Chains A and B, each alone.
Chain A
């Protein structure tokens, strides 16, 4: 159809409609027009023969074909329509059926409505009941013992304690206290009833617990008691019943008390395994060791007992004083056997030094044990009594010694030195005071002791010296006393707390030295014949007239005496009293000598000045007293 000659197209003008049509056709792009392509393809299936006849019939052929197709189409749709019709009738039927069912359901619903509401009510009621049952269970759980718990509380016949006992007891207690809440609500009857039953449970439980604890405690008599955790818990539980607690702990104390006594007696008489360490009593001949060992044993036992007690009461909050009270009870048993033995030692001991050592030892242990037990403990008061006794025995022994000194006073030896009883007593004093270096008591006690010891020893000694010196002349007495007191003084000077004593002794020495030097001076003056002259000079009053006029004071007499004095000056030692050289202390001796010389010089000076005094009317005083006092001093010193 498109096969037109292109030359025609180029020759015609564009304005020609045919041209335009042709152009349009030519411009048509057939390969892009799918419909056209399909149409042409379809056409090519029926248009198989390109001849005139077929070309002329093409149109009718196509129309015929179109008609056939439409007829076919119509037939096909006829079937569809018939099926749709059948579906329609089916749906209609179903609709009717449904309608019918709806109606029937509606009827049924109307009929079941009552039933449903009834069911709902019942359901709600059931829920309510369930809730109530839960509450009741909870109540029972909280306010009622489980059967096994009740069984535990009631216990078995043999009295053994179930490990869960304390939990059960705690629950009983809890329930009992929870009942107070019940009483605040309107459930008072229940509250009261439960409370009562719990109280009964509690009472029986505590009673059982107490019996058990009592038996346990009573059995704790071994060297080292086995304190089980159950027993500790029992003590803790019993804390709620103070009376039962007290009884239980007393039971413990009594058991331990007998154990301690047995242990003490064993240590005293049996000693260790195979006899080592040896029994304490084997050393009873050595008082210090004997008493010391007993004390150390008691100290250790007391410390251990305190530990056991603390271990027993580790779960309980008790006051320290309560523990100490029980400890006092435990240690009370040993007091008697201990006291008897120590008293025996003390009463049979004579030696003051040993007694003093014992006294110090007891004092030390009194301090040591006081740190473990309280002041009310019998052990401590026993120790106090014993220590008191040892103190008394010691001072008794010192006093006894002193009395012996005064009973048999020794005569002073010819050399006026200390008597043997003096040196012996001072040696004893030294020994006693030396104990203090090895002792362990506080300084205050020491000071107090020293005072008492000194007055117990030094005073009788002084007394003894005085008595023994009473038959001597004053010069001998002075020298003898100086020697004795000096010895005491030099002994005491080595120790503490003796200052006041030393001062007192020094003063006494001074007094005796004074006596001695005045005796020495007057001895010299008498021997040179100056004593009368000096006496007159000293007592001379101007009213008596000039000295030279008095009898015995004429220049010749005075001069001859002065000449003798002059020869004394040449050898001053010739006139020294023998007693002065018997003084043991070089210091005191020299001091006495110096002061005697001072006295003589002073006397000389007085006489010298009197003679030189013009009112005394001595002619040529220079010839009577040729030496000036200064010269005399120089010569004598």
Chain B
């Protein structure tokens, strides 16, 4: 019966082994929400409104044969929301830090975003640098080499993407997940600790016959 059940688990959209929590950060207007939309809906959202506070999207991907559900929290870039969005770094397994290759100012602010990300997440959080809008090469204001160097110096993964054409968007999200998965395999990420940003669902189900192993913890006094 168990083998049967395990085979069942591989099918169906809801059946996944892990949940990874991501956060997307970066200046206003760099295209964070568009990246998320492109990734979850595979469509470009023109005239995207400013994000109010935070929004979130999900998608199931596959890494090394394991189904992984990504729960992606998209934060508002506007300064006035900074106090609100800071609270969402907690427990993120991956942080996508986005700048706009046509606006140098958004690149210049990266160090402050990076400081936030380092201070507010756990040390194993994978930080991925994304230079968005690479379809607008004619208006480029930050070279690939420069950003690549910044990424290398700070130990970040890096790609230039376009939420409009979809170029590299998939890779940025997948590579982050692969890195997190690798950390789990290496044992550098502790799954049992709360707020690691990764939640594991065991592939082999619990023994259904054992009914008294988990007494109901109702009315937790706190």
Residues of chain A at the chain B interface (Cβ within 8 Å): 158-163, 212, 215-216, 218-219, 221, 223-230, 232, 254-255, 257-258, 261-263, 265-267, 270-274, 276-277, 280, 288-289, 292-293, 295-297, 299-300, 303-304, 307, 311, 314, 333, 336-337, 361, 364, 368, 437-440
Taking CB as reference atom, which chain B residue is nearest A211?
A: B211
Taking a contact as CB atoms under 8 Å apart, the answer to whether A440 and B211 are in contact is: no
Q: A228-B9, A437-B80 are in contact. Are A263 and B194 (CB under 8 A)?
A: yes
Taking CB as reference atom, which chain A residue is nearest B200?
A: A224
Q: A224-B199, A440-B53 are in contact. Are A361 and B84 (CB under 8 A)?
A: yes
Within 8 Å by CB of A218, from B5, B201, B216, lies B216
> Considering the chains assembled together, what is the distance between the CA atoms of A212 and B14 in angstroms?
21
Q: A297-B90, A311-B14 are in contact. Are A160 and B1 (CB under 8 A)?
A: yes
Quote the shortest CB–CB distance from A92 to chain B (angstroms). Answer: 87
Q: Which of B130-174 contact A (CB under 8 A)?
A: none
Taking a contact as CB atoms under 8 Å apart, the answer to whether B206 and A273 are in contact is: no
Taking a contact as CB atoms under 8 Å apart, the answer to whether B89 and A277 are in contact is: yes
Quote the shortest CB–CB distance from A577 to chain B (angstroms). Answer: 48
Taking a contact as CB atoms under 8 Å apart, the answer to whether A276 and B211 are in contact is: no
* B124 proximity list for chain A (CB < 8 A): 273
Within 8 Å by CB of B195, from A261, A277, A333, lies A277
**How many A-B pairs fall under 8 Å by CB?**
155
The 9 closest A-B pairs by CB, nearest first: A224-B199, A273-B193, A296-B87, A272-B195, A158-B209, A258-B217, A438-B80, A276-B122, A311-B14
- Asked if B62 CB lies within 8 Å of chain A CBs, one says no
Within 8 Å by CB of A216, from B4, B190, B193, B208, lies B208
> Per-residue 0/1 for B186-217: is the Cβ within 8 Å of any A Cβ (1 yes, 0 no)?
00001001111001111001101101011011
Q: A215-B208, A267-B90, A295-B87 are in contact. Are A226 and B121 (CB under 8 A)?
A: no
Q: A224-B200, A273-B195, A288-B83 are in contact. Are A261 and B220 (CB under 8 A)?
A: yes
Taking a contact as CB atoms under 8 Å apart, the answer to whether A219 and B4 are in contact is: no
- Asked if B120 CB lies within 8 Å of chain A CBs, one says yes
- Asked if B40 CB lies within 8 Å of chain A CBs, one says no
Within 8 Å by CB of B83, from A159, A227, A361, lies A361
- Asked if B44 CB lies within 8 Å of chain A CBs, one says no
- Asked if B98 CB lies within 8 Å of chain A CBs, one says no
- Asked if B52 CB lies within 8 Å of chain A CBs, one says yes
Interface CB pairs A-B, < 8 A, 17:
A159-B211, A215-B208, A216-B208, A225-B201, A226-B201, A228-B9, A229-B5, A229-B8, A258-B218, A267-B91, A270-B194, A272-B122, A273-B194, A292-B83, A300-B88, A333-B220, A440-B80
* B214 proximity list for chain A (CB < 8 A): 218-219, 221
Taking a contact as CB atoms under 8 Å apart, the answer to whether A271 and B195 are in contact is: yes
- Asked if B106 CB lies within 8 Å of chain A CBs, one says no
> Considering the chains assembled together, what is the distance between the CA atoms of A266 and B79 in angstroms?
30
Q: Which of B1-32 contact A (CB under 8 A)?
A: 1, 4-5, 8-9, 11-15, 19, 21
Taking CB as reference atom, which chain A residue is nearest B76?
A: A440
Taking CB as reference atom, which chain B residue is nearest A162?
A: B1
* A230 proximity list for chain B (CB < 8 A): 5, 8, 205
Taking a contact as CB atoms under 8 Å apart, the answer to whether B194 and A255 are in contact is: no
Taking a contact as CB atoms under 8 Å apart, the answer to whether A277 and B71 are in contact is: no
* A289 proximity list for chain B (CB < 8 A): 83, 86-87
Within 8 Å by CB of A223, from B81, B89, B194, lies B194
Q: For the A-B complex with A277-B195, A289-B83 known, give 4 more contacts whose Cβ atoms are closer than 8 Å.
A: A224-B19, A277-B122, A297-B90, A439-B80
* A288 proximity list for chain B (CB < 8 A): 83
> Per-residue 0/1 for B45-66: is the Cβ within 8 Å of any A Cβ (1 yes, 0 no)?
0000000111010100000000
* A337 proximity list for chain B (CB < 8 A): 222
* A438 proximity list for chain B (CB < 8 A): 79-80, 83
Taking a contact as CB atoms under 8 Å apart, the answer to whether A228 and B205 are in contact is: yes
Within 8 Å by CB of B222, from A158, A265, A440, lies A265
